[in-house]
Chains A and B, each alone.
Chain A
């Protein structure tokens, strides 16, 4: 599996988190709250990493650091051997709340991702069209976000996240707000997209089942302060079958971590 490959052997695009620590300081009490403690993680190119943990374990904070929205932290984040600086088009994001602009159509919302991409207008149109196709929304290009369902909006957000062809796509509990049926369908679709596009994915979730279903490796985090508890290899062929005995065993194994905590 990708997890066991040596990082340097593959052509670039690996993501390396080195000794990441992060504090939130409270100005009122003059104290510092540690939210991340010495997080170390090597992510191979094309790998699907899922990060799972209870709320408050810093998993979303970690994602914001990789995204470059928050630059005040200790340690280093290297993408393709180079430290990241601020946000960048090579790192895409899908937020939990889809964050589509309500005044733009589906097509225009996806095009937001390409606003500053070095492409000609014709190339941009074509790329937008391709990605709307990829998420199966070709019949809704002219629709506004309020005219489509939550699941469809999240697919638009995925298309917007992918439209730059980033080397890493970060997903921050993207299906957390969806109903169970839509969530299952989108998990399957996301896996399909990942296999097709071969983009590194870092997917944060609090749903153990989702983490095991999607990840090459599941990173289990624990809170106070947020740190990696352990990393579980999911050595199952895709598409995965939730009723497979090995799947159930792995899921129960990961779940047991949380049983102890709570």
Chain B
């Protein structure tokens, strides 16, 4: 994973990223162990670990995490699909771009969270409302990057297509889409990251049903800081996992395109 060194041998440098978390946990442990604060809001690492164990063995936790992930993925897929369609229309058709482009550019300026009141009135607080919200979160980066990618196909490539008598369809399939693919993928990658962030937001703001965001709210309402901290760690880890997955796919594709991986 190291991006700083290219050496294959494990060097101490590889572990530098762990220094800060380890120190933080050590200080935390020390603070609770020495009783620096007697507030009930400062829980010990052991307590969080115990809660974690308790949660991992409970059915409720797995129900929460799986419904969060299911929500996340449905929103991601719906938003990405619609985003690809809209992005392609904007990218391929000048007319469509002229008619819809300005509206879309205004639409995307509206903060995602400003949609919550409208969505909650129209769709309630249930899964439908959450998935609508998530789809919106995923939609915007996909549309923007798909459209940009298609608009910025090098004219030099289009001339090559013209020289070899490519039809419109051959040009789209054989030149424009492949040339735009890295940009389109960046959009999908962002959609995956945004939709996970939005999942937690949706669960927090459209409170109903189960989900990891609701676990967080439960903990907060009952002053169970161990549960809150555990929830945050899980959210972070899932986000990290999704990010890793997307990064790997992106890298594989960039290698195919001869773009030096980041």
Contacts and interface: CB of A to CB of B under 8 A. Distances in A.
A116 to B, nearest CB: 5
A145 B258 contact: yes
A87 interface: yes
A67 B159 CA distance: 10
Contact of A112 (B160, B167, B179, B256): B160
Contacts of A147: 258
Interface stretch (B20-28, B170-178, B226-234): B170-178
B169 to A, nearest CB: 12
B258 A93 contact: no
B156 A146 contact: no
A105 to B, nearest CB: 10
B181 interface: yes
A95 B170 CA distance: 21
B165 interface: yes
A102 B256 CA distance: 8
B176 to A, nearest CB: 11
Nearest to B253: A103
Nearest to A145: B258
A103 B156 contact: no
Interface string A92-133: 010101010111000000001101100000000000000000
A95 B175 contact: no
Interface residues of chain A: helix, strand, loop or mixed (majority): loop
A88 B165 contact: yes
A99 B258 contact: no
Interface in B53-88: none
Interface residues of B, number: 19
B258 A69 contact: no
A102 B258 contact: yes
B164 A89 contact: yes
Interface residues of A, number: 20
Given A97-B156, A99-B157, A145-B258, A116 B166 contact: yes
A194 interface: no
Interface in B150-164: 156-157, 159-160, 162-164
A69 B159 contact: yes
B257 interface: yes
Contacts of A67: 163
A18 to B, nearest CB: 23
Nearest to B160: A99
A66 to B, nearest CB: 12
Nearest to A157: B160
Contacts of B258: 102, 144-147
B178 A115 contact: no
Nearest to B175: A101
Contacts of A144: 256, 258
B256 A113 contact: no
Given A95-B156, A146-B258, A115 B163 contact: no
B165 A99 contact: no
Interface string A57-94: 00000000001010000000000000000011100010
A103 B170 CA distance: 15
A42 B181 CA distance: 45
Nearest to A100: B160
A112 B164 contact: yes
Contacts of A88: 165
Contact of A115 (B156, B166, B179, B257): B166
Contacts of A87: 162-165
B170 A115 contact: yes
A101 B256 contact: no
A168 B170 CA distance: 24
Contacts of B256: 103, 144
Nearest to B177: A103
Contacts of B175: 101
Contacts of B167: 116
A88 B164 CA distance: 7
A116 B156 contact: no
A88 B257 CA distance: 29
Contacts of B166: 115-116
Interface of A: 67, 69, 87-89, 93, 95, 97, 99, 101-103, 112-113, 115-116, 144-147
Given A99-B156, A99-B159, 12 more contacts: A67-B163, A69-B159, A69-B162, A69-B163, A87-B163, A101-B178, A103-B181, A112-B160, A115-B164, A115-B165, A144-B258, A146-B257
Instruction: Give 8 nearest A-B pairs by CB, closest first.
Output: A146-B258, A103-B178, A116-B165, A87-B163, A99-B160, A99-B156, A102-B258, A102-B257
13 contacts: A67-B163, A87-B162, A87-B163, A87-B164, A99-B157, A101-B157, A101-B160, A101-B175, A102-B257, A103-B181, A103-B257, A115-B164, A116-B165
